[in-house]
Amino acid sequence: MDKELFPEKGRDYEEIMDIIEEANERDVKFGSGHVFGSMCSEPLEITKKVHSMFIEANLGNPGLCRGTERLKNEVNRAISSLINAPDDCESLTIGGGTEGNILALWRARNETGNRRVILPKSAHFSFLKACDILEMEPVYLPSDENYLPDLELLEEMIDDSIAAVVGVAGTTELGLIEPIEEMADIVGDIHLHVDAAFGGLVIPFLKELGYEMPAYDFEIDGVDSLVLDPHKMGLSTIPLSIFYSREPLSFSVEAPYLSGERQRTLRGTRSSASISAFWATMNFLGREGYRQIIAQCMENTRYLLKELKSIGLEPIIEPLMNIASFHQDNAEKVVKEMERRGYNISRTVDPSGLRFVVMPHVNKENIDAMTKELSRVIG
């Protein structure tokens, strides 16, 4: 072990900051115009400022954070109006969509005693973590020719051993909204969880902009729980997700030495500055501001589509939201070569392709520069 990494005496402030600044410069920044593979973006200045003001907030001990608790409650109620959540819907601010997906399966397992969960082929890898932790068995539902869950096969897979079924609103690879309403009709009383980590703060504003969007949220009676991530298109600081449950949550543990008495989140100590930061962002932008941002993202997505078609790439689907993916047999090789050239893009696995997330930090000039580089790579 290298003891020099934990110095006996404190180092000089200027020396420390020089090292920190060098490390910071090595990180690829959203503002560089080179990040096309991330579902997060640069927070607003007000967001960063408010986050720093609440850096010691810990809602694991809410009695010490009464102001943060009030802002959290307002955030949760405000977002519930976007997803048609009933007034008595329970909500938890958590540290990411992964935690929300674990909570959904935890609840389903405890309430049913079953350990099998039906996952669409598009399901995020976090469900594998959840199944491993909870000792549940993932059963994958194949996709149809439109890359959506095969509903006929779903009907065949439903039996008394199933604890939960998962649907996705804003799939990671293609940005699709799965047929949640039809899935709800098929699964009946079985717990139906919606992973809307990305789509939850895109779809409502697309609807307000006049886009036709399928139902995906608590508007559907069969939806039991839903998770969404304000640290994605909500432009909050990382990490922040919100988990909603139609029914009272059945899991909690006593925390007798803390002011909250009981805890229902996976984390005890919870960095809570992002909650206040998102409250500030939400109130600074308003619904109108989010509509403008998402309208711009969609315009830039259409521009990206046109530019990449011009260099011979064909979209896997016509983008439904600000995620665009293109057929490419050598996707992994292309992604690595673009990374070597300083560009972060992503890939799809099935089918093999290149994936671009057109977040608020992406503009047409960035797209032009990236397209020029990509055209050299794919020949």
Give the pLDDT confidence score for residue 95 in this predicted structure: 92
Give the pLDDT confidence score for residue 270 in this predicted structure: 81
65 CB-contact burial (10 Å; exposed 0-12 / middle 13-18 / buried 19+)? buried
- CA–CA distance, 256 with 200 (Å, rounded to integer): 35
Per-residue three-class SS string for 235-274: CCCCCCEEEEECCCCCCCEEECCCCCEEECCCCCCCECHH
Give the pLDDT confidence score for residue 260 in this predicted structure: 57
Residue 355 contacts residue 347 (beta carbons within 8 Å): yes
Give the pLDDT confidence score for residue 302 in this predicted structure: 98
Give the pLDDT confidence score for residue 202 in this predicted structure: 98
- CA–CA distance, 349 with 363 (Å, rounded to integer): 26
**342 Cα distance to chain centroid:** 25
Give the pLDDT confidence score for residue 256 in this predicted structure: 60
CATH class of 47-282: alpha beta
This prediction's pTM: 0.94
Q: What's the CATH number for 30-42+287-378? A: 3.90.1150.10
Q: Where are the domains of the chain?
A: 30-42+287-378, 47-282
Residue 36 contacts residue 362 (beta carbons within 8 Å): yes
Q: Is there a common fold for 30-42+287-378 and 47-282?
A: no
Which residues of the chain are under the pLDDT cut of 50? none
Residue 320 contacts residue 175 (beta carbons within 8 Å): yes
Give the pLDDT confidence score for residue 74 in this predicted structure: 96
Give the pLDDT confidence score for residue 58 in this predicted structure: 87
